Structure 1
């Protein structure tokens, strides 16, 4: 056990985490020049294109130290985005140490701090690493001072490297062996294995990633999941190299995989504890909780005959993504679809792109919403994530919506613009301090519903790309929310209904009406597009009628002849309006929904 090191690399987005992992894999001789490609641990095309890690990976690196000893380094890679923070916390709890990677040009960002606090909560030994020292704009000495001053980490332990060129990476491998502690645990005790991730293999079922805390696990053992009591027989276990390498047993301190004929990923929950049925552990490992979906949206196929395909595509995605939840949904305007729950807006985008790419399905998404708690007059509480299920306002006592604490790191000059943006989005309890000259750490409590639209895009715009953002869920608070309905020719379009704060209702309603006016083709009669709260119209746009020139044949003559023809036309249009219905094209829905996203 003294020759094992379990560690993770934590960093803000785009600080070079995947590149450093590539260098470590190359230096440990895991991959030949011919087989090497960038981002070795990122399997999805989407991860490569966006440069983000969506699905975390693990790899076991053999390393021959300068002291002549052979070591086993288990790198537990983590996703970098705030949406996946629970998965990051489970991966960190399976390690003893972490490399805190910081860009030599950009310095400490919002998620650098958020991930550092997560690592500290798990009592990990932190080795600060300043990366990208080869950049012309790199200021490693200034960043080292920042680390010592802001984070309270000793300057003597800071490692300097360039993951791109490989400079300083051999010294970093030695630092991992020297500074990070070996795992603790007793191979003779009852088995306690922490599940920190799972992926789906179409031939073998779920491949469970585990860290053995205590005890020994062998092929053929009967295991039990402590959260749901399910029992399985171990078919294969082993270590993660570039491919899975089977072995006879996994003992305390080791990280590896278990294949036990588990049919779906959702049965294996990150944070759960595996123990032996014959000799169970006394209690599960601490920290387990169910994943919380915070953003909800309905997915509809553009062509209704793709509904079955969309259902099977979601089932297949669910095999690989335990956090995705969905149920059947229907809409008078869009037909049949599915109401889905996501961990955040990035998770929603990833699922949408994977459905469109991997399964070739064109989708319409409804406006993303969050889960509201509606307290009724009869003391009962409803959870509402879909405007269609909003109860009668007369029966509502109060409505509560989720709030988050946003932490924003910005250069000092953007303070005014960011404060204005937060106040526009109903921000409160704003605080700020200067972690270093010229930089501000700004924190603010915001309603989650205001953040899931275009807050991040707006933040990047007003700070010219320098702002970084991280958030954590706080609690539910009472709020004045209303349901805004969109009426076309007097008919309610259920797919475009939204739950919004009363102060933003007219603005949102007007924006939707303007988009629909641009997209709906003109008819032979006038079409009124209205936004309403209950029976009160708050915004309106009118699409004027196509009009045939009925007076063209009257050249000269009395005005009463012309008027008679125009009145006859007017009466015909009035009758046509009462019986005519307006077909709203799919692109009109897309235009309204995109403007809100």
Structure 2
């Protein structure tokens, strides 16, 4: 082993001895496994306590094998080679998610660092999210160290991918580190290089304290736990601090570092990353991106925060039991603290009752939030079909932003614009034709194509977001035998020929089933949903028509036949007029019932119909 762990007391560290860095990569390229080896090498986790993916704390992360939340950890390290041999340093490492839905989590982590380790799987090479995370790091002016992981795999081709990586970053192939997160090979040398290449944090130790909140969690017993990166000055226990955006003043009950479990300290100085506990129970008082300063002689100017995350997909969340509504509100408040990109507001539905319209960064984000609400807070929920945000302009010039199809205006529509994304697809050159065919079928327009190497192609498309949020990724994977990777970012709105499809049960609109779709796909959507509902809704005492309509025009129809009681059961023979009289009486009764009866739609039908389109949600690793 090259270096060895050393003890450096938190709160008393010279900024020149601190290195703040994060690990960024595409999904499944080994970020969490490399972080495990670093924890072992630096001695902050004993061998008997070690487990795989140590920093993935949530059950859902461990089950799916993906990182959802960034985790910061403080590690001591003594350099064993070069000019700084024998010197002790503190490494603050942040393990970040790799999925495109959690890019906001990555961007907040990058703002707390001076350097980034760009990890690439030596058996798979550069993927779409590798590029996206690299550009994020360069936008934040971070020093980047290229690293090839998984060199112990039989399929690894480090020389080939070192050339690709060097071409991308603008360095020499031999500058790319070769490590194995599984065996630990090359990790000690990488830690030495992190000390040598990454700059120490800059800040004024004598200025008033300023610390940036980059994350926060809710603890049932201790209230809000806030994670901060100190930029200027120093924070000490029992000091009174002020949140600059809200002006709220609190007393610091506890301050410390994560190593990787919470360790109390006597304070945090310039460049240090740690946690604060003020005993606050109101989750809204600890906003991610806010600046913490002293309440007496505090800083005048706040640190630049983070750009607000813009939701890309909206879905309604409703409790199956209406009395759980207050619990759902409280649960969302607590999750909002832990996930700054979650957006929600109350809404009501005639069919589903009271609930919340929630904004997500993508379908995996929606699925994770829903699963966390059900697991961590014991709620049973229905989520409506996801949809994107549309901008609708009427003939009279009225402009409406539509996040829910039921809000679509009834007047004469002049134009509808939908969000567009710039998609980057990396694929082996054998599958270029299949990928182009898929993108064109989803109303995509090609923007360019580059060969990264003789075998790998980068395709760039402009696509409607609504076309890729459902099963686009699954289709892409199946058409390329699993080799393609996708990354996308929003690029504004574009006009499109879109219509609202309503579902009518016995002539009444059911708002929960409304959808905004492209005109060419409206008929297929109407047929599919009416057929699904015919199978799901139980037969009533009277015949129920299920219709799909655009405005007043019916485009698809199915009938649920009435339950017919055998009123002739007691008529053994006899006059035919007696039988006819009984049948006519039954028909009259059904007519009366149809006038006053309402169609009862069971909850199962809502759940099945609203999730039938989302059954192909990508809940696997991308």
TM-score (norm 1): 0.92
Query: Which residue does the alignment assign to 1:596?
Result: 613
1:305 Cα offset (Å): 4.1
Superposition map of 1:44-59 within 5 A? 44-59=58-73
1:61 Cα offset (Å): 0.3
Larger relative contact order (C-alpha < 8 A, sep ≥ 6)?
Answer: 2
Query: Which residue does the alignment assign to 2:331?
Result: 313
1:562 Cα offset (Å): 8.9
Query: Which residue does the alignment assign to 1:432?
Result: 449
Query: Which residue does the alignment assign to 2:523?
Result: 506
Superposition map of 1:19-30 within 5 A? 19-30=33-44
Superposition map of 1:39-78 within 5 A? 39-66=53-80, 67-78=85-96
Q: For the structure 1 residues 90 and 319, does the alpha-carbon distance in structure 2 shift closer, same or farther, using more than 3 Å as the test?
A: closer
Q: Distance in 2 between matches of 1:190 and 1:156?
A: 44
**For residues 419-443 of structure 1, what are the alpha-carbon distances to aligned partners after superposition, in whole Å with 9 as ceiling and x for unaligned?**
2222222222442211111212112
Q: Distance in 2 between matches of 1:155 and 1:50?
A: 34
2:51 is the counterpart of 1:37: yes
Q: Distance in 2 between matches of 1:442 and 1:143?
A: 19
Q: Distance in 2 between matches of 1:241 and 1:138?
A: 33
Superposition map of 1:134-173 within 5 A? 134-173=152-191
Residues 264, 319 of structure 1: 8 Å contact kept = no
Q: For the structure 1 residues 209 and 326, does the alpha-carbon distance in structure 2 shift closer, same or farther, using more than 3 Å as the test?
A: same
**For residues 139-191 of structure 1, what are the alpha-carbon distances to aligned partners after superposition, in whole Å with 9 as ceiling and x for unaligned?**
11111111122332332221111111212222222222222222222212343
Q: Distance in 2 between matches of 1:210 and 1:551?
A: 79
Query: Which residue does the alignment assign to 2:463?
Result: 446
Query: Which residue does the alignment assign to 1:421?
Result: 438
Q: Distance in 1 between matches of 2:239 and 2:572?
A: 98
1:548 Cα offset (Å): 6.0
Residues 308, 341 of structure 2: 8 Å contact kept = no
Q: Distance in 2 between matches of 1:418 and 1:558?
A: 72
Q: Distance in 2 between matches of 1:231 and 1:380?
A: 44
Query: Which residue does the alignment assign to 1:296?
Result: 314
1:227 Cα offset (Å): 3.4
1:344 Cα offset (Å): 2.3
1:404 Cα offset (Å): 1.5
The size of the alignment, in residue pairs, is 596
Residues 402, 476 of structure 1: 8 Å contact kept = yes
Instruction: Report the 3-state secondary structure (helix = DSSP H, G, I; strand = E; otherwise coil) of the residue aligned with 1:249.
Output: coil
**For residues 443-495 of structure 1, what are the alpha-carbon distances to aligned partners after superposition, in whole Å with 9 as ceiling and x for unaligned?**
21222222222222222222222221111121122333322110122222121
Instruction: Report the 3-state secondary structure (helix = DSSP H, G, I; strand = E; otherwise coil) of the residue aligned with 2:202.
Output: coil
| 1:581 maps to which of 584, 598, 616 | 598
Q: Distance in 1 between matches of 2:169 and 2:242?
A: 41
| 2:535 maps to which of 481, 498, 518 | 518
Residues 234, 267 of structure 2: 8 Å contact kept = yes
Query: Which residue does the alignment assign to 1:189?
Result: 207
2:348 is the counterpart of 1:334: no
363-372 or 322-331: which moved more? 322-331
Q: Distance in 2 between matches of 1:229 and 1:305?
A: 35
**For residues 538-597 of structure 1, what are the alpha-carbon distances to aligned partners after superposition, in whole Å with 9 as ceiling and x for unaligned?**
111223344567789999999999989877766665554444432222222122211222
564-573 or 6-15: which moved more? 564-573
TM-score (norm 2): 0.89
Query: Which residue does the alignment assign to 1:273?
Result: 291
Query: Which residue does the alignment assign to 2:10?
Result: none
Q: Distance in 1 between matches of 2:612 and 2:482?
A: 21
Give ranges in structure 1 of 5+ residues lacking alignment: none
Instruction: Report the 3-state secondary structure (helix = DSSP H, G, I; strand = E; otherwise coil) of the residue aligned with 2:47.
Output: coil
Instruction: Report the 3-state secondary structure (helix = DSSP H, G, I; strand = E; otherwise coil) of the residue aligned with 2:48.
Output: coil
1:92 Cα offset (Å): 0.9
Q: For the structure 1 residues 137 and 454, does the alpha-carbon distance in structure 2 shift closer, same or farther, using more than 3 Å as the test?
A: same
Q: For the structure 1 residues 451 and 267, does the alpha-carbon distance in structure 2 shift closer, same or farther, using more than 3 Å as the test?
A: farther
384-393 or 13-22: which moved more? 384-393
Q: Distance in 2 between matches of 1:227 and 1:158?
A: 42
100-109 or 444-453: which moved more? 444-453
Q: Distance in 2 between matches of 1:552 and 1:199?
A: 67
Q: Distance in 1 between matches of 2:249 and 2:477?
A: 48
Q: Distance in 2 between matches of 1:291 and 1:230?
A: 24
Q: For the structure 1 residues 154 and 215, does the alpha-carbon distance in structure 2 shift closer, same or farther, using more than 3 Å as the test?
A: farther
Residues 87, 196 of structure 1: 8 Å contact kept = no
550-559 or 382-391: which moved more? 550-559
Q: Distance in 1 between matches of 2:76 and 2:249?
A: 33
Moved over 4 A (4+): 376-380, 546-576
Superposition map of 1:168-567 within 5 A? 168-281=186-299, 283-286=301-304, 288-377=306-395, 379-394=397-412, 396-547=413-564
Q: Distance in 1 between matches of 2:444 and 2:572?
A: 65
34-43 or 289-298: which moved more? 289-298
Q: For the structure 1 residues 9 and 389, does the alpha-carbon distance in structure 2 shift closer, same or farther, using more than 3 Å as the test?
A: same
Instruction: Report the 3-state secondary structure (helix = DSSP H, G, I; strand = E; otherwise coil) of the residue aligned with 2:16.
Output: coil
2:96 is the counterpart of 1:82: no
Q: For the structure 1 residues 24 and 408, does the alpha-carbon distance in structure 2 shift closer, same or farther, using more than 3 Å as the test?
A: same
269-278 or 366-375: which moved more? 269-278
Q: For the structure 1 residues 313 and 287, does the alpha-carbon distance in structure 2 shift closer, same or farther, using more than 3 Å as the test?
A: closer
Q: For the structure 1 residues 269 and 316, does the alpha-carbon distance in structure 2 shift closer, same or farther, using more than 3 Å as the test?
A: closer
Q: For the structure 1 residues 236 and 431, does the alpha-carbon distance in structure 2 shift closer, same or farther, using more than 3 Å as the test?
A: same
Residues 8, 98 of structure 1: 8 Å contact kept = yes
Q: Distance in 1 between matches of 2:337 and 2:230?
A: 24
| 2:29 maps to which of 15, 19, 24 | 15
Instruction: Report the 3-state secondary structure (helix = DSSP H, G, I; strand = E; otherwise coil) of the residue aligned with 2:21.
Output: strand
